[in-house]
Amino acid sequence: MESTNKIAILGANGKAGKFLVKEALDKGYQVKILTRNSNNIKITNENIEIINGDARDFASIRKLLKGCGAVINAVGQPKNESYIFSTVTKHILEAMKEFEIKRYIVISGGSLNVTGDQKGIVNKIGATLFKIFLSKMM
């Protein structure tokens, strides 16, 4: 049986992911995060385990998910790269099946406005519409 107190988080360096990692640690969870560059991880905590790898690589996903009771996917789309979300999700679901993980949460920060954010036109429109029509959710 996998640990229900250990959460795998993908996208921990992103705007939504950073807040998610902090909140999970504040709630007492052990957190495993996957990063392409561990130098970008600014938070230090004894309950964080950093896995170096790439979400597009199945072996990296397996290493991340091993021993976890839940997976939270906050992966964003890298600039100027082909779409990654379907590949990442496929790898996550395959590893979840292997490790019998039943909890999977997907979040997105695409509609959040953060100072210094450089959104493309589609995300700018989405964020504006979200603010107008769904402001009570924020």
Number of domains present in the structure of the chain: 2
This prediction's pTM: 0.77
118 shares a domain with 86: no
Supply the pLDDT for residue 25. 96
pLDDT grade for 1, boundaries at 50, 70 and 90: very low
Average pLDDT of the chain, as a whole number? 85
103 shares a domain with 120: no
101 shares a domain with 56: yes
pLDDT grade for 78, boundaries at 50, 70 and 90: low
Residue 1 lies in a domain: no
For the chain, the distance separating the N- and C-terminal CA atoms, rounded to the nearest angstrom, is 36
**pLDDT per position as a tens digit, 4-13:** 799 999 988 8
User: What CATH number is given to the structural domain containing 70?
Assistant: 3.40.50.720
Q: Which two tokens stand for residue 92?
A: 């996550």
The Cα–Cα gap between 13 and 98 comes to: 26
Supply the pLDDT for residue 69. 97
Q: What is the residue type of 109? A: G
DSSP H/E element including 17: helix 15-26
Please list, in sequence order, all residues whose beta carbon lies within 8 angstroms of the beta carbon of residue 118, skipping any fewer than 6 positions away: none
73: nearest Cα among 58, 55, 57: 55
Supply the pLDDT for residue 17. 86
Domain limits for position 97: 6-107
Cα 42 → chain centroid: 15
The Cα–Cα gap between 95 and 34 comes to: 14
